[in-house]
Amino acid sequence: MGLGRWIRDKPAFLERAYQVSYATIKWLRPLILKLGFKRASRLILPVERFSKRLLFDCKMCGQCTLHETGMVCPMTCPKHLRNGACGGVRSNGNCEVIPEMRCVWVVAYERAQDMQIFGPEMISIKPPANHTLTNSSAWINKISELDQSAPKGWAEIPHNPVIEKKFLDEDS
Ligand code: SF4
């Protein structure tokens, strides 16, 4: 079993790691602002791409929602659904499109049950991916708040109440 597959089964650990990563990026914010988003992105993007591909089979959507989806990447769903399962989940919990694969959303729901901090975020409404952000750094997009931009026709993404409680309160 590879490192990625092994660690994906540790959602409680992963949500802690996410918390630490987010705190680190926030700590680096002044430096990132000084460098400028473009230059900072050139440094952060390769690290982000390598680590998230290894750990989550990340598709670099640029708008990371892992903490809201049981630390399971919703872009690994063959239909790229970001707001819950389609109507075609098989009775054994497998995918309609790839029958031998577990439905990403079934796995996400199961893993969210083990997550004390971000698990409840599973029920938040998530718009589809904004494809203008594909292949950009989700961390830089979080700092610049570009990750709040929803695709055309969707309202802006509301600030996440759990994130606000855990992190943004510390800013005030
Ligand atoms: S949600 Fe986006 S950034 Fe996060 S792991 Fe999936 S593809 Fe990568």
Report the chain's C-alpha Rg in angstroms. 16
Picking from 117, 119, 121, 130, the residue whose alpha carbon sits closest to that of residue 156 is 130
pLDDT at 54 over 80: yes
- Looking at 1-60, list the stretches that DSSP marks H as alpha helix, in order from N- to C-terminal side: 3-8, 11-27, 29-35, 37-56
Residue type for 149, please? S
* pLDDT for res 172: 42
Distance CA 118, CA 115 (A): 6
All residues at 6 or more sequence positions from 106 whose CB lies less than 8 Å from its CB, including other chains: 85, 89, 93
Distance 118 CA to ligand 1 centre (A): 16
Instruction: Decide: 52 in ligand 1 pocket, CB within 6 A.
Output: yes
Angle in degrees, CA 65, 96, 10, rounded to 5: 40
For residue 125, the enclosing domain spans 2-149+157-171
Burial class of residue 4 in the structure, from the number of CB atoms within 10 Å of its CB (0-12 exposed, 13-18 middle, 19+ buried) = middle
Query: Per residue in 103-150, pLDDT tens?
Result: 999 999 999 999 999 999 998 888 889 999 999 999 999 999 998 888
Query: Per residue in 152-164, pLDDT tens?
Result: 777 666 656 555 5
Instruction: Decide: 126 in ligand 1 pocket, CB within 6 A.
Output: no
CB 85, CB 103: distance < 8 Å: yes
The pTM (predicted TM-score) of the whole model is 0.84
Distance CA 141, CA 4 (A): 24
Our count of domains for the chain comes to: 1
Please name the residue whose Cα sits nearest to atom 6 of ligand 1: 73
- The mean of the pLDDT values for the chain is 88
